[in-house]
Amino acid sequence: MPLRTIAFIVVVLIGLGSWACEIGVTSDSRGQWVEPQWRRTSAGWQRPTEWAPRGGEFHQPTLHPALVASLELLISLIVMVAADSGRRTA
């Protein structure tokens, strides 16, 4: 498969993913965000008032998710390079 075809598929998938993230966004006539009345949780459909912490304070992770993803990518690349170099010397 040519590189241009792969790049085209990746761009289309990124575009579709971005568009899919915007589908659930709702706003009122003034253009302000409207909180949905029901959310899907592990316990089924619930109102946010039933499970949201009081005061609006959510847990903040100690590590940024982008940092964790970057470390996972780096470890994966190191393992793939090590496996490939081990195969070439044998």
Nearest of 16, 15, 33 to residue 25 by alpha carbon: 33
Domain that holds residue 83: 61-90
Taking 3-state DSSP, the helix, strand and coil percentages for the chain, each rounded to the nearest 5, stand at 60, 10, 35
pLDDT for 35 beyond 80: no
Q: Which of the listed ranges 2-11, 14-23, 30-39 does the model predict with the highest average pLDDT?
A: 2-11
Q: What is the pLDDT of residue 57?
A: 66
Q: Residue 10 falls within a domain, yes or no?
A: no
Q: Residue 3 falls within a domain, yes or no?
A: no
Put simply, whether the predicted model's pTM sits higher than 0.75 gets the answer no
Taking a C-beta distance cutoff of 8 angstroms, is the pair 41, 35 a contact? no
Q: Residue 80 falls within a domain, yes or no?
A: yes
Q: What is the pLDDT of residue 90?
A: 53
Amino acid identity for residue 83 in this structure: A
Q: Residue 67 falls within a domain, yes or no?
A: yes
Q: Residue 90 falls within a domain, yes or no?
A: yes
DSSP string, 12-54: HHHHHHHHHHHTT--B-TTS-B---S-EEETTEEE-HHHHSPG
CA distance 38 to 23: 16
Overall domain count for the chain: 1
